[in-house]
Amino acid sequence: MKQLVSLLLLAALVISVSAAPSIVTNSNYQAEVGQYRNTSQGGLEVRDYGNTPAGSNVTAAGTAAACGDNILISAGGGTANTAITSGDLVYSVKVLARSSPLPPSNTCFMVTLSYNGAPLMPLYVKTSTPSAGDFAICGWDLGVTSLPPLYTLKVSVQ
């Protein structure tokens, strides 16, 4: 009887240990995903839209300095992008007007991206008379069809 009780206790212990959750961590992986808010730059917020493969070739828009292409931060959302090649990965962000403070009216903003430390072509978006929630999408062709295991992306708005 003692052996049966010992065997049952051992079985219960094995079952409870094997059912315990386990957490696997990989110290080689680091990521920072999210959004950036810079209220000192006129109430703009930049949100990560991630990487997607381009379905077709797209001509550049919003690359003319001083907002010469007239890409607006608006309720309908303007789109600024570098020249995009079908199949390449495109990294996109959403530049969003915050409610407090609102971005200044009739102002041009330069949105830049660095990929692995190399700056890509800047994109230019501007406000007319902004309202909270107005936005523009900015996209850059990264020139690759897949990302390396380790990479960095840095966005700034000036």
Residue 80 lies in a domain: yes
User: In this predicted structure, what is the pLDDT of residue 1?
Assistant: 62
Residue 15 lies in a domain: no
Residue 19 lies in a domain: no
Structural domain harbouring 111? 35-157
Considering 7-21, 40-54, 73-87, 142-156, the range whose residues carry the highest mean pLDDT is: 73-87
Residue 8 lies in a domain: no
Q: What is the pLDDT of residues 10-34, one digit of tens each?
A: 444 445 444 444 444 433 333 444 4
User: In this predicted structure, what is the pLDDT of residue 59?
Assistant: 97
Residue 7 lies in a domain: no
Residue 3 lies in a domain: no
Three-class SS of the chain: CHHHHHHHHHHHHHHHHHCCCCCCCCCCCCCCCCEEEEHHHCCEEEEEEEEEECCCCECCECCCHHHCCCCECECCCEEEECCECCCCEEEEEEEEECCCCCCCCCCEEEEEEEECCEECCCEEEECCCCCCCCEEEEEEECCCCCCCCCCCEEEEEC
Distance CA 64, CA 85 (A): 19
User: In this predicted structure, what is the pLDDT of residue 30?
Assistant: 38
* Count of domains forming the chain: 1
User: In this predicted structure, what is the pLDDT of residue 42?
Assistant: 63
Residue 20 lies in a domain: no
What is the residue type of 57?
N
Asked if pLDDT for residue 76 goes beyond 50, the answer is yes
> Cα angle vertex 68, ends 67, 72, to 5°?
50
Model pTM score: 0.75
Rounded to the nearest integer, the mean pLDDT of the chain is: 81
* Between residues 41 and 1, the one the model is more confident about: 1
Residue 16 lies in a domain: no
Distance CA 151, CA 24 (A): 22
